[in-house]
Structure 1
Amino acid sequence: MSRPPNRPPAPSEPSGPSRPGPSRPGAAWRRAPASTPASAPAPAPALAPTGPSARPAPRARSAPSAPSAPSPVAAPELPAAEGERLAKRLAREIGCSRSEAERYIESGMVTVDGVVVDTPPSRVRDAQRVALTRGATLSATEPVTLLLNKPPGLVAGIVVGNAADGAAGLLQVRHRATGDRVPPRVEPAHLRRQLCLTPLETTAGGLLVFSQDPRIARRLTEDASQLEHETMVDVAGPVDPALLARLAIDPAEPRAPRAMRVSIGSSSDETTRLRFAIKGHQPGRIERACADAGLKVLAISRLRIGRVPLAGVPVGQWRYLGPEERF
Protein backbone atom coordinates (compact mmCIF):
# COMPACT_ATOMS: atom_id res chain seq x y z
CA MET A 1 0.00 0.00 0.00
CA SER A 2 1.50 3.21 -1.09
CA ARG A 3 1.63 6.10 1.38
CA PRO A 4 0.24 9.48 0.29
CA PRO A 5 2.79 12.11 -0.46
CA ASN A 6 3.66 14.39 2.41
CA ARG A 7 1.73 17.68 2.38
CA PRO A 8 3.63 20.86 3.06
CA PRO A 9 2.98 22.29 6.56
CA ALA A 10 0.47 25.17 6.85
CA PRO A 11 2.08 28.55 7.13
CA SER A 12 2.22 29.86 10.69
CA GLU A 13 0.36 33.02 11.69
CA PRO A 14 2.55 36.11 12.15
CA SER A 15 2.79 37.37 15.72
CA GLY A 16 2.37 41.03 14.79
CA PRO A 17 -0.71 42.77 13.49
CA SER A 18 -2.10 41.21 10.41
CA ARG A 19 -1.74 42.92 7.10
CA PRO A 20 -4.61 43.23 4.73
CA GLY A 21 -4.41 40.87 1.84
CA PRO A 22 -6.53 39.05 -0.65
CA SER A 23 -8.94 36.58 0.83
CA ARG A 24 -8.51 32.96 0.11
CA PRO A 25 -11.15 30.26 -0.04
CA GLY A 26 -11.31 28.28 3.16
CA ALA A 27 -9.07 30.64 5.02
CA ALA A 28 -9.92 31.14 8.70
CA TRP A 29 -10.79 34.68 9.71
CA ARG A 30 -9.45 36.04 12.92
CA ARG A 31 -11.99 37.12 15.59
CA ALA A 32 -12.28 40.87 15.93
CA PRO A 33 -10.56 42.39 18.95
CA ALA A 34 -12.66 43.13 22.05
CA SER A 35 -12.45 46.88 21.62
CA THR A 36 -13.23 48.34 18.21
CA PRO A 37 -11.91 51.77 17.36
CA ALA A 38 -14.59 54.49 17.07
CA SER A 39 -13.71 55.01 13.42
CA ALA A 40 -14.27 51.36 12.51
CA PRO A 41 -17.65 50.52 10.94
CA ALA A 42 -20.15 48.81 13.23
CA PRO A 43 -20.39 45.05 12.71
CA ALA A 44 -23.47 43.78 10.90
CA PRO A 45 -26.16 42.40 13.20
CA ALA A 46 -26.15 38.65 13.57
CA LEU A 47 -28.96 36.81 11.80
CA ALA A 48 -31.21 34.66 13.92
CA PRO A 49 -30.95 30.97 13.11
CA THR A 50 -33.77 29.40 11.17
CA GLY A 51 -35.00 25.85 10.95
CA PRO A 52 -36.77 23.40 13.20
CA SER A 53 -34.04 23.50 15.84
CA ALA A 54 -34.04 27.27 16.03
CA ARG A 55 -35.02 28.74 19.37
CA PRO A 56 -36.85 32.05 19.71
CA ALA A 57 -34.52 34.90 20.34
CA PRO A 58 -34.67 36.23 23.89
CA ARG A 59 -36.65 39.46 24.22
CA ALA A 60 -34.53 42.52 24.54
CA ARG A 61 -34.87 44.26 27.88
CA SER A 62 -35.96 47.85 27.52
CA ALA A 63 -34.32 50.53 29.55
CA PRO A 64 -36.24 51.39 32.72
CA SER A 65 -38.53 54.34 31.99
CA ALA A 66 -38.91 57.32 34.30
CA PRO A 67 -41.70 56.93 36.84
CA SER A 68 -44.92 58.38 35.42
CA ALA A 69 -46.94 60.95 37.33
CA PRO A 70 -49.83 59.48 39.28
CA SER A 71 -53.18 59.82 37.53
CA PRO A 72 -55.35 62.58 39.01
CA VAL A 73 -57.85 61.39 41.53
CA ALA A 74 -61.22 63.14 41.71
CA ALA A 75 -61.58 65.24 44.81
CA PRO A 76 -63.99 63.73 47.27
CA GLU A 77 -67.41 65.26 47.11
CA LEU A 78 -68.04 67.65 49.95
CA PRO A 79 -70.63 66.41 52.40
CA ALA A 80 -73.97 68.13 52.65
CA ALA A 81 -74.32 71.00 55.09
CA GLU A 82 -74.26 69.72 58.60
CA GLY A 83 -76.98 70.34 61.10
CA GLU A 84 -80.50 71.65 60.75
CA ARG A 85 -81.88 75.02 59.74
CA LEU A 86 -82.33 77.23 62.77
CA ALA A 87 -85.91 78.19 61.88
CA LYS A 88 -86.92 74.54 61.52
CA ARG A 89 -85.27 73.59 64.82
CA LEU A 90 -86.89 76.49 66.69
CA ALA A 91 -90.34 75.76 65.25
CA ARG A 92 -90.10 72.15 66.44
CA GLU A 93 -88.87 73.01 69.93
CA ILE A 94 -91.34 75.77 70.84
CA GLY A 95 -94.27 74.50 68.75
CA CYS A 96 -94.77 77.39 66.35
CA SER A 97 -94.99 77.72 62.57
CA ARG A 98 -91.89 78.14 60.41
CA SER A 99 -92.80 81.72 59.52
CA GLU A 100 -93.25 82.61 63.18
CA ALA A 101 -89.88 81.06 63.96
CA GLU A 102 -88.27 83.21 61.25
CA ARG A 103 -89.83 86.33 62.78
CA TYR A 104 -88.44 85.42 66.20
CA ILE A 105 -85.00 84.96 64.69
CA GLU A 106 -85.06 88.14 62.56
CA SER A 107 -86.11 90.14 65.62
CA GLY A 108 -83.00 89.04 67.50
CA MET A 109 -84.87 87.00 70.09
CA VAL A 110 -83.16 83.63 69.49
CA THR A 111 -79.83 82.47 70.89
CA VAL A 112 -77.63 79.55 69.92
CA ASP A 113 -75.39 78.49 72.80
CA GLY A 114 -76.06 81.88 74.39
CA VAL A 115 -75.23 83.95 71.29
CA VAL A 116 -77.94 85.89 69.45
CA VAL A 117 -78.40 84.71 65.83
CA ASP A 118 -80.73 86.68 63.54
CA THR A 119 -80.41 84.76 60.25
CA PRO A 120 -83.08 82.03 59.80
CA PRO A 121 -81.03 79.99 57.26
CA SER A 122 -78.27 79.43 59.83
CA ARG A 123 -77.66 75.78 60.70
CA VAL A 124 -77.28 74.26 64.15
CA ARG A 125 -76.11 70.86 65.31
CA ASP A 126 -78.00 68.57 67.63
CA ALA A 127 -75.63 69.28 70.51
CA GLN A 128 -76.16 73.05 70.30
CA ARG A 129 -78.73 74.71 72.57
CA VAL A 130 -81.38 76.87 70.91
CA ALA A 131 -83.53 79.12 73.10
CA LEU A 132 -85.62 82.29 73.10
CA THR A 133 -84.40 85.35 74.93
CA ARG A 134 -86.10 86.32 78.18
CA GLY A 135 -89.39 88.11 77.61
CA ALA A 136 -89.48 87.31 73.89
CA THR A 137 -92.92 88.00 72.47
CA LEU A 138 -93.97 87.83 68.87
CA SER A 139 -95.67 91.04 67.87
CA ALA A 140 -96.28 92.51 64.46
CA THR A 141 -93.27 94.45 63.15
CA GLU A 142 -94.18 98.07 62.61
CA PRO A 143 -93.53 99.31 59.06
CA VAL A 144 -90.69 101.80 58.80
CA THR A 145 -89.65 104.57 56.40
CA LEU A 146 -86.04 105.15 55.37
CA LEU A 147 -84.45 108.33 54.01
CA LEU A 148 -81.46 107.76 51.71
CA ASN A 149 -78.95 110.28 50.40
CA LYS A 150 -78.60 108.89 46.88
CA PRO A 151 -75.26 109.32 45.09
CA PRO A 152 -75.48 110.52 41.48
CA GLY A 153 -75.22 107.74 38.90
CA LEU A 154 -77.50 105.20 40.58
CA VAL A 155 -80.92 104.29 39.22
CA ALA A 156 -83.66 105.11 41.71
CA GLY A 157 -87.30 104.37 40.97
CA ILE A 158 -86.99 105.35 37.31
CA VAL A 159 -86.30 102.28 35.18
CA VAL A 160 -83.88 102.94 32.33
CA GLY A 161 -83.75 99.99 29.93
CA ASN A 162 -82.96 96.87 31.96
CA ALA A 163 -81.10 98.75 34.70
CA ALA A 164 -81.81 97.58 38.22
CA ASP A 165 -82.69 99.93 41.06
CA GLY A 166 -79.13 100.46 42.25
CA ALA A 167 -80.04 102.91 45.02
CA ALA A 168 -82.06 100.24 46.86
CA GLY A 169 -78.85 98.21 47.19
CA LEU A 170 -77.58 100.79 49.71
CA LEU A 171 -80.30 99.85 52.21
CA GLN A 172 -77.98 97.76 54.35
CA VAL A 173 -77.06 97.90 58.01
CA ARG A 174 -73.51 99.03 57.27
CA HIS A 175 -74.83 102.06 55.33
CA ARG A 176 -76.89 103.45 58.20
CA ALA A 177 -75.84 106.99 59.16
CA THR A 178 -73.72 106.97 62.31
CA GLY A 179 -75.72 109.80 63.89
CA ASP A 180 -79.04 107.93 63.58
CA ARG A 181 -79.99 106.53 66.98
CA VAL A 182 -83.73 105.79 66.77
CA PRO A 183 -84.44 102.92 66.76
CA PRO A 184 -81.22 101.70 68.37
CA ARG A 185 -81.16 98.40 66.45
CA VAL A 186 -81.78 97.69 62.77
CA GLU A 187 -83.99 94.65 62.31
CA PRO A 188 -83.51 92.67 59.07
CA ALA A 189 -87.24 92.98 58.39
CA HIS A 190 -86.85 96.77 58.19
CA LEU A 191 -84.71 96.47 55.06
CA ARG A 192 -87.05 94.17 53.15
CA ARG A 193 -89.93 95.08 50.84
CA GLN A 194 -89.00 98.76 50.79
CA LEU A 195 -90.73 100.75 48.04
CA CYS A 196 -89.11 103.83 46.48
CA LEU A 197 -91.83 106.52 46.61
CA THR A 198 -89.87 109.56 45.37
CA PRO A 199 -87.92 108.66 42.21
CA LEU A 200 -84.93 110.66 41.02
CA GLU A 201 -83.09 110.94 37.75
CA THR A 202 -79.98 108.76 37.49
CA THR A 203 -77.73 111.82 37.14
CA ALA A 204 -79.26 113.50 40.22
CA GLY A 205 -78.55 112.87 43.88
CA GLY A 206 -80.07 113.65 47.23
CA LEU A 207 -83.14 112.66 49.23
CA LEU A 208 -84.93 109.40 48.41
CA VAL A 209 -87.82 108.04 50.45
CA PHE A 210 -88.28 104.27 50.87
CA SER A 211 -91.19 103.02 52.93
CA GLN A 212 -93.16 99.95 54.03
CA ASP A 213 -95.91 102.10 55.52
CA PRO A 214 -99.06 102.32 53.37
CA ARG A 215 -99.95 105.65 55.01
CA ILE A 216 -96.66 107.17 53.88
CA ALA A 217 -97.17 105.68 50.43
CA ARG A 218 -100.58 107.34 50.11
CA ARG A 219 -99.22 110.67 51.31
CA LEU A 220 -96.37 110.72 48.81
CA THR A 221 -98.41 109.51 45.85
CA GLU A 222 -101.94 110.87 46.23
CA ASP A 223 -100.75 114.24 47.61
CA ALA A 224 -97.57 114.43 45.51
CA SER A 225 -98.66 117.59 43.68
CA GLN A 226 -99.06 119.42 47.01
CA LEU A 227 -95.64 118.53 48.45
CA GLU A 228 -92.81 120.97 47.83
CA HIS A 229 -89.42 119.60 46.74
CA GLU A 230 -86.38 121.71 47.56
CA THR A 231 -83.51 121.04 45.16
CA MET A 232 -80.06 122.60 44.83
CA VAL A 233 -78.74 122.89 41.28
CA ASP A 234 -75.20 123.87 40.27
CA VAL A 235 -74.93 125.54 36.87
CA ALA A 236 -71.91 126.78 34.94
CA GLY A 237 -71.07 130.48 35.02
CA PRO A 238 -72.75 133.43 36.73
CA VAL A 239 -76.53 133.99 36.69
CA ASP A 240 -77.94 137.54 36.58
CA PRO A 241 -81.49 138.55 37.59
CA ALA A 242 -82.69 138.59 33.96
CA LEU A 243 -81.46 135.04 33.40
CA LEU A 244 -83.04 134.01 36.69
CA ALA A 245 -86.41 135.30 35.54
CA ARG A 246 -86.20 133.27 32.33
CA LEU A 247 -86.14 130.04 34.35
CA ALA A 248 -89.78 130.52 35.31
CA ILE A 249 -90.94 130.97 31.70
CA ASP A 250 -91.94 128.00 29.59
CA PRO A 251 -91.23 128.77 25.89
CA ALA A 252 -94.10 126.48 24.88
CA GLU A 253 -96.56 128.45 27.10
CA PRO A 254 -95.07 131.88 27.80
CA ARG A 255 -98.29 133.19 29.39
CA ALA A 256 -98.35 130.36 31.95
CA PRO A 257 -95.21 130.58 34.09
CA ARG A 258 -93.73 127.42 35.53
CA ALA A 259 -94.90 126.53 39.03
CA MET A 260 -91.49 126.94 40.62
CA ARG A 261 -89.56 129.39 42.75
CA VAL A 262 -85.90 129.93 41.95
CA SER A 263 -83.31 131.84 43.94
CA ILE A 264 -79.54 132.10 44.01
CA GLY A 265 -77.86 130.30 46.88
CA SER A 266 -74.24 131.13 46.10
CA SER A 267 -72.38 132.42 43.08
CA SER A 268 -68.87 132.71 41.66
CA ASP A 269 -67.30 133.38 38.28
CA GLU A 270 -67.22 129.65 37.49
CA THR A 271 -70.45 128.27 39.02
CA THR A 272 -73.75 129.37 40.52
CA ARG A 273 -75.84 127.37 43.00
CA LEU A 274 -79.56 127.76 42.42
CA ARG A 275 -82.32 126.81 44.81
CA PHE A 276 -85.46 125.38 43.21
CA ALA A 277 -88.70 125.00 45.18
CA ILE A 278 -91.22 123.02 43.11
CA LYS A 279 -94.49 121.37 44.10
CA GLY A 280 -94.54 117.82 42.86
CA HIS A 281 -91.75 116.08 40.98
CA GLN A 282 -91.56 115.53 37.25
CA PRO A 283 -88.40 113.81 35.96
CA GLY A 284 -86.31 116.13 33.80
CA ARG A 285 -88.27 119.27 34.70
CA ILE A 286 -85.34 121.19 36.14
CA GLU A 287 -82.99 120.20 33.31
CA ARG A 288 -85.48 121.43 30.71
CA ALA A 289 -85.95 124.76 32.50
CA CYS A 290 -82.18 125.29 32.66
CA ALA A 291 -81.73 124.31 29.02
CA ASP A 292 -84.46 126.76 27.93
CA ALA A 293 -82.59 129.52 29.80
CA GLY A 294 -79.27 128.56 28.23
CA LEU A 295 -77.74 127.21 31.45
CA LYS A 296 -75.53 124.14 31.69
CA VAL A 297 -76.41 121.90 34.65
CA LEU A 298 -73.43 120.54 36.60
CA ALA A 299 -75.12 118.83 39.56
CA ILE A 300 -78.57 118.29 41.08
CA SER A 301 -79.27 117.37 44.71
CA ARG A 302 -82.67 117.18 46.43
CA LEU A 303 -82.56 118.31 50.07
CA ARG A 304 -86.18 118.31 51.28
CA ILE A 305 -89.62 116.86 50.54
CA GLY A 306 -92.50 118.58 52.28
CA ARG A 307 -91.39 119.19 55.86
CA VAL A 308 -88.85 116.35 55.95
CA PRO A 309 -85.21 117.32 55.24
CA LEU A 310 -82.25 115.08 54.54
CA ALA A 311 -80.76 116.45 57.79
CA GLY A 312 -77.07 116.01 57.08
CA VAL A 313 -77.08 112.34 56.11
CA PRO A 314 -73.79 111.61 54.26
CA VAL A 315 -73.92 110.60 50.62
CA GLY A 316 -74.59 106.86 50.24
CA GLN A 317 -76.08 106.49 53.76
CA TRP A 318 -79.61 106.43 55.16
CA ARG A 319 -81.57 107.14 58.33
CA TYR A 320 -84.96 106.28 59.77
CA LEU A 321 -87.88 108.69 59.48
CA GLY A 322 -88.43 109.86 63.05
CA PRO A 323 -91.74 109.26 64.81
CA GLU A 324 -92.34 113.01 65.07
CA GLU A 325 -91.55 113.82 61.41
CA ARG A 326 -94.39 114.47 58.97
CA PHE A 327 -94.24 115.13 55.25
Structure 2
Amino acid sequence: MPALPETGDRIAKLLARAGVASRREVERMIADGRVAVDGKVLDTPAIKLESLKGVTVDGNAVAAPEAPRLFAFHKPSGLITAERDPAGRPTIYTALRNALPKNTPRLMPVGRLDFTTEGLLLLTNDGELKRAMELPASGVPRTYRARAFGDVSQAQLDDLMEGVTIDGVRYGSIEADLERGSGRNRWIEMTLTEGKNREVRRVLEHLGLKVNRLLRTAYGPFELADLPRGQAVEIRQSDVERFRKSLKRGR
Protein backbone atom coordinates (compact mmCIF):
# COMPACT_ATOMS: atom_id res chain seq x y z
CA MET A 1 0.00 0.00 0.00
CA PRO A 2 1.41 3.44 -0.86
CA ALA A 3 2.39 5.80 1.91
CA LEU A 4 -0.65 7.37 3.52
CA PRO A 5 -0.92 11.16 3.56
CA GLU A 6 -0.19 13.13 6.69
CA THR A 7 -2.82 15.71 5.83
CA GLY A 8 -6.58 15.41 5.78
CA ASP A 9 -8.83 14.06 8.51
CA ARG A 10 -8.49 11.04 10.75
CA ILE A 11 -10.19 8.01 9.26
CA ALA A 12 -12.57 7.61 12.20
CA LYS A 13 -13.82 11.15 11.64
CA LEU A 14 -14.34 10.56 7.92
CA LEU A 15 -16.23 7.31 8.50
CA ALA A 16 -18.37 8.98 11.15
CA ARG A 17 -19.17 11.79 8.72
CA ALA A 18 -20.15 9.14 6.17
CA GLY A 19 -22.67 7.74 8.62
CA VAL A 20 -20.91 4.39 9.11
CA ALA A 21 -20.96 4.72 12.91
CA SER A 22 -19.90 7.13 15.62
CA ARG A 23 -16.19 7.94 15.85
CA ARG A 24 -15.80 5.79 18.96
CA GLU A 25 -17.60 2.87 17.31
CA VAL A 26 -15.40 3.24 14.21
CA GLU A 27 -12.30 3.01 16.39
CA ARG A 28 -13.63 -0.26 17.81
CA MET A 29 -14.27 -1.52 14.28
CA ILE A 30 -10.66 -0.73 13.37
CA ALA A 31 -9.44 -2.59 16.47
CA ASP A 32 -11.52 -5.57 15.32
CA GLY A 33 -9.84 -5.56 11.91
CA ARG A 34 -12.96 -4.60 9.98
CA VAL A 35 -11.57 -1.53 8.19
CA ALA A 36 -9.09 -1.58 5.31
CA VAL A 37 -7.47 0.92 2.94
CA ASP A 38 -6.61 -0.32 -0.54
CA GLY A 39 -7.00 -3.88 0.72
CA LYS A 40 -4.70 -3.52 3.74
CA VAL A 41 -6.43 -4.03 7.10
CA LEU A 42 -5.81 -1.15 9.49
CA ASP A 43 -4.55 -1.78 13.01
CA THR A 44 -4.68 1.81 14.23
CA PRO A 45 -7.11 4.73 13.92
CA ALA A 46 -4.19 7.20 13.85
CA ILE A 47 -4.32 7.60 10.08
CA LYS A 48 -5.31 10.67 8.10
CA LEU A 49 -6.93 10.56 4.68
CA GLU A 50 -8.02 13.18 2.16
CA SER A 51 -11.04 11.07 1.18
CA LEU A 52 -12.62 7.64 1.64
CA LYS A 53 -11.44 6.41 -1.75
CA GLY A 54 -10.19 2.83 -1.35
CA VAL A 55 -11.62 2.46 2.16
CA THR A 56 -13.70 -0.62 2.90
CA VAL A 57 -15.64 -1.75 5.97
CA ASP A 58 -16.28 -5.50 6.24
CA GLY A 59 -15.06 -5.73 2.65
CA ASN A 60 -17.59 -3.22 1.32
CA ALA A 61 -16.57 0.08 -0.23
CA VAL A 62 -17.66 3.15 1.70
CA ALA A 63 -19.68 5.69 -0.22
CA ALA A 64 -18.63 9.31 -0.13
CA PRO A 65 -20.30 11.13 2.75
CA GLU A 66 -23.50 12.97 2.04
CA ALA A 67 -24.11 16.44 3.34
CA PRO A 68 -25.13 16.36 7.02
CA ARG A 69 -28.87 15.81 7.32
CA LEU A 70 -31.05 16.09 10.38
CA PHE A 71 -34.56 14.75 10.93
CA ALA A 72 -37.06 15.42 13.71
CA PHE A 73 -39.15 12.46 14.84
CA HIS A 74 -42.07 12.56 17.27
CA LYS A 75 -41.32 9.40 19.23
CA PRO A 76 -44.37 7.75 20.78
CA SER A 77 -44.24 6.01 24.14
CA GLY A 78 -43.50 2.30 23.90
CA LEU A 79 -40.53 2.34 21.52
CA ILE A 80 -36.88 1.53 22.26
CA THR A 81 -34.26 3.99 21.00
CA ALA A 82 -32.10 1.28 19.44
CA GLU A 83 -31.83 -0.74 16.25
CA ARG A 84 -32.93 -3.93 17.98
CA ASP A 85 -34.08 -5.06 21.41
CA PRO A 86 -33.13 -8.45 22.93
CA ALA A 87 -36.53 -8.54 24.61
CA GLY A 88 -38.27 -8.14 21.26
CA ARG A 89 -39.88 -4.80 22.03
CA PRO A 90 -40.54 -2.48 19.05
CA THR A 91 -37.84 0.07 18.24
CA ILE A 92 -37.91 3.55 16.76
CA TYR A 93 -36.80 2.03 13.45
CA THR A 94 -40.05 0.06 13.29
CA ALA A 95 -41.96 3.34 13.19
CA LEU A 96 -39.39 5.16 11.05
CA ARG A 97 -39.81 2.71 8.17
CA ASN A 98 -43.18 4.32 7.49
CA ALA A 99 -42.35 7.83 8.71
CA LEU A 100 -39.27 8.55 6.55
CA PRO A 101 -39.20 9.06 2.77
CA LYS A 102 -37.70 6.31 0.64
CA ASN A 103 -33.94 6.42 0.00
CA THR A 104 -33.30 8.19 3.30
CA PRO A 105 -29.70 7.46 4.39
CA ARG A 106 -28.89 5.44 7.50
CA LEU A 107 -29.81 7.59 10.46
CA MET A 108 -28.48 7.56 14.00
CA PRO A 109 -30.42 8.95 16.97
CA VAL A 110 -29.00 11.99 18.72
CA GLY A 111 -29.13 10.90 22.35
CA ARG A 112 -31.91 8.63 23.56
CA LEU A 113 -35.42 8.72 24.90
CA ASP A 114 -36.53 6.06 27.37
CA PHE A 115 -39.11 3.42 26.43
CA THR A 116 -41.97 5.42 27.96
CA THR A 117 -40.63 8.90 27.13
CA GLU A 118 -42.26 10.69 24.21
CA GLY A 119 -41.46 13.66 22.05
CA LEU A 120 -38.66 15.08 19.96
CA LEU A 121 -35.96 12.67 18.87
CA LEU A 122 -33.43 14.00 16.38
CA LEU A 123 -31.76 11.66 13.91
CA THR A 124 -28.77 12.33 11.65
CA ASN A 125 -26.62 10.63 9.04
CA ASP A 126 -23.55 12.45 10.39
CA GLY A 127 -21.68 10.81 13.26
CA GLU A 128 -19.68 13.95 14.02
CA LEU A 129 -22.80 16.08 14.33
CA LYS A 130 -24.39 13.42 16.55
CA ARG A 131 -21.40 13.36 18.89
CA ALA A 132 -21.13 17.15 19.06
CA MET A 133 -24.80 17.50 19.95
CA GLU A 134 -24.62 14.83 22.66
CA LEU A 135 -21.49 16.04 24.45
CA PRO A 136 -22.29 17.88 27.71
CA ALA A 137 -19.41 20.24 26.90
CA SER A 138 -21.36 21.50 23.87
CA GLY A 139 -24.04 22.83 26.21
CA VAL A 140 -26.93 22.06 23.88
CA PRO A 141 -30.15 22.60 25.87
CA ARG A 142 -32.87 19.94 26.00
CA THR A 143 -36.35 20.94 27.12
CA TYR A 144 -38.92 18.56 28.61
CA ARG A 145 -42.44 18.74 29.96
CA ALA A 146 -43.05 16.33 32.82
CA ARG A 147 -46.42 15.55 34.37
CA ALA A 148 -45.72 14.61 37.96
CA PHE A 149 -47.82 13.67 40.96
CA GLY A 150 -46.99 15.09 44.36
CA ASP A 151 -46.28 18.34 46.13
CA VAL A 152 -43.53 20.70 45.01
CA SER A 153 -42.99 24.46 45.13
CA GLN A 154 -41.40 26.78 42.61
CA ALA A 155 -38.77 27.58 45.24
CA GLN A 156 -37.72 23.91 45.33
CA LEU A 157 -37.49 23.88 41.56
CA ASP A 158 -35.47 27.11 41.56
CA ASP A 159 -32.87 25.39 43.76
CA LEU A 160 -32.13 23.04 40.85
CA MET A 161 -30.32 25.93 39.14
CA GLU A 162 -27.47 25.21 41.56
CA GLY A 163 -27.35 21.55 40.53
CA VAL A 164 -28.05 18.55 42.73
CA THR A 165 -26.29 15.35 43.78
CA ILE A 166 -28.40 12.18 43.92
CA ASP A 167 -26.94 8.84 45.02
CA GLY A 168 -23.45 10.10 44.31
CA VAL A 169 -24.30 11.39 40.82
CA ARG A 170 -23.93 15.12 40.22
CA TYR A 171 -26.51 16.76 37.98
CA GLY A 172 -25.72 20.22 36.65
CA SER A 173 -27.87 23.32 36.52
CA ILE A 174 -31.51 22.70 35.57
CA GLU A 175 -34.05 25.42 34.84
CA ALA A 176 -37.46 24.22 36.03
CA ASP A 177 -40.82 25.98 36.02
CA LEU A 178 -44.06 24.79 37.57
CA GLU A 179 -46.87 25.40 35.11
CA ARG A 180 -50.09 26.99 36.28
CA GLY A 181 -52.75 24.68 37.58
CA SER A 182 -54.14 23.11 40.69
CA GLY A 183 -54.17 19.71 42.31
CA ARG A 184 -51.27 17.34 42.90
CA ASN A 185 -50.84 16.25 39.25
CA ARG A 186 -48.89 19.15 37.71
CA TRP A 187 -46.87 19.88 34.58
CA ILE A 188 -43.28 21.02 35.02
CA GLU A 189 -41.09 22.36 32.21
CA MET A 190 -37.39 21.59 32.59
CA THR A 191 -34.38 22.64 30.53
CA LEU A 192 -31.00 20.98 31.02
CA THR A 193 -27.76 20.60 29.08
CA GLU A 194 -26.21 17.34 30.27
CA GLY A 195 -28.83 14.78 29.35
CA LYS A 196 -27.63 12.09 31.75
CA ASN A 197 -29.48 8.78 31.85
CA ARG A 198 -33.03 9.26 33.22
CA GLU A 199 -32.00 12.69 34.53
CA VAL A 200 -35.44 14.33 34.58
CA ARG A 201 -37.12 11.37 36.26
CA ARG A 202 -34.40 10.96 38.88
CA VAL A 203 -34.33 14.63 39.79
CA LEU A 204 -38.10 14.86 40.16
CA GLU A 205 -38.26 11.60 42.12
CA HIS A 206 -35.59 13.07 44.40
CA LEU A 207 -38.07 15.88 45.10
CA GLY A 208 -40.71 13.31 46.07
CA LEU A 209 -42.63 13.43 42.78
CA LYS A 210 -43.91 10.54 40.66
CA VAL A 211 -43.49 11.18 36.93
CA ASN A 212 -46.40 9.73 34.98
CA ARG A 213 -45.70 11.32 31.60
CA LEU A 214 -42.55 12.77 30.07
CA LEU A 215 -42.29 14.62 26.77
CA ARG A 216 -39.23 16.23 25.16
CA THR A 217 -40.27 19.40 23.38
CA ALA A 218 -36.97 20.83 22.16
CA TYR A 219 -33.33 19.93 21.52
CA GLY A 220 -31.17 22.96 20.86
CA PRO A 221 -33.03 25.32 18.49
CA PHE A 222 -35.16 22.48 17.10
CA GLU A 223 -38.69 22.13 18.49
CA LEU A 224 -41.34 19.42 18.43
CA ALA A 225 -44.01 22.03 17.70
CA ASP A 226 -47.07 20.40 16.10
CA LEU A 227 -45.29 17.42 14.52
CA PRO A 228 -47.79 14.53 14.81
CA ARG A 229 -46.91 11.54 16.99
CA GLY A 230 -45.08 8.86 14.98
CA GLN A 231 -44.19 11.23 12.14
CA ALA A 232 -40.80 12.55 11.00
CA VAL A 233 -39.75 15.62 9.04
CA GLU A 234 -36.39 16.73 7.64
CA ILE A 235 -34.95 19.93 9.07
CA ARG A 236 -33.93 22.49 6.45
CA GLN A 237 -30.31 22.24 5.37
CA SER A 238 -29.74 25.93 6.03
CA ASP A 239 -30.89 25.49 9.64
CA VAL A 240 -28.62 22.47 10.08
CA GLU A 241 -25.59 24.38 8.76
CA ARG A 242 -26.33 27.38 10.94
CA PHE A 243 -26.52 25.11 13.98
CA ARG A 244 -23.29 23.28 13.03
CA LYS A 245 -21.46 26.58 12.82
CA SER A 246 -22.77 27.63 16.23
CA LEU A 247 -21.41 24.36 17.71
CA LYS A 248 -17.98 24.98 16.19
CA ARG A 249 -17.87 28.52 17.59
CA GLY A 250 -18.73 27.17 21.02
CA ARG A 251 -21.82 27.95 22.96
- With the length of structure 2 as denominator, give the TM-score of the two structures: 0.60
Q: How many angstroms apart in 2 are the aligned matches of 1:319 and 1:222?
A: 24
Measured at CA, do residues 215 and 311 of structure 1 come closer, stay the same or move farther in structure 2, by a change above 3 Å? Answer: farther
Kept in 1, the 8 Å contact 2:144–2:218? The answer is yes
- The alignment-based identity, stated in percent, is 20
Identify the residue that residue 69 of structure 2 maps to in structure 1: 144
Kept in 1, the 8 Å contact 2:109–2:130? The answer is no
Q: 1 or 2, which has the higher helix percentage?
A: 2
Structure 1 residue 301, shift from structure 2 partner: 0.6
Structure 1 residue 222, shift from structure 2 partner: 4.6
Identify the residue that residue 307 of structure 1 maps to in structure 2: 221
Structure 1 residue 226, shift from structure 2 partner: 1.4
Structure 1 residue 208, shift from structure 2 partner: 0.8
Identify the residue that residue 97 of structure 2 maps to in structure 1: 172
Kept in 2, the 8 Å contact 1:158–1:201? The answer is no
Verify: 1:198 aligned to 2:111, yes or no: yes
Q: 1 or 2, which has the higher strand percentage?
A: 2
- State the structure with bigger RCO (CA 8 A, min sep 6), 1 or 2: 2
Q: Could you report, residue by residue, the CA deviation over 1:43-69 in whole angstroms, capped at 9, with x for unpaired residues?
A: xxxxxxxxxxxxxxxxxxxxxxxxxxx
Structure 1: give runs of 5+ residues left out of the alignment.
Answer: 1-138, 177-185
Equivalence map 1:27-176=2 (5 Å): 142=67, 144-157=69-82, 161-163=86-88, 166-173=91-98, 175=99
- More off after superposition, 314-323 vs 209-218: 209-218
Verify: 1:219 aligned to 2:219, yes or no: no
Q: How many angstroms apart in 1 are the aligned matches of 2:83 and 2:165?
A: 24
Q: How many angstroms apart in 2 are the aligned matches of 1:158 and 1:242?
A: 41
Identify the residue that residue 323 of structure 1 maps to in structure 2: 237
Structure 1 residue 164, shift from structure 2 partner: 5.7
Identify the residue that residue 249 of structure 1 maps to in structure 2: 164
Runs of 4+ in 1 over 6 A off after TM superposition: none
Which one has a bigger Cα radius of gyration?
A: 1
Which residue identity does 2:132 align to in structure 1? Answer: R
Structure 1 residue 274, shift from structure 2 partner: 0.7
Which residue identity does 1:210 align to in structure 2? Answer: L
Q: How many angstroms apart in 2 are the aligned matches of 1:265 and 1:245?
A: 13
Q: How many angstroms apart in 2 are the aligned matches of 1:315 and 1:227?
A: 24
Measured at CA, do residues 219 and 250 of structure 1 come closer, stay the same or move farther in structure 2, by a change above 3 Å? Answer: closer
Kept in 2, the 8 Å contact 1:234–1:271? The answer is yes
Structure 2: give runs of 5+ residues left out of the alignment.
Answer: 1-63, 244-251
Of the three residues 191, 198, 221, the one matched with 1:284 is 198
| Aligned-pair Cα RMSD in Å | 3.1
Structure 1 residue 313, shift from structure 2 partner: 0.5
Identify the residue that residue 232 of structure 1 maps to in structure 2: 145
Q: How many angstroms apart in 1 are the aligned matches of 2:219 and 2:145?
A: 13
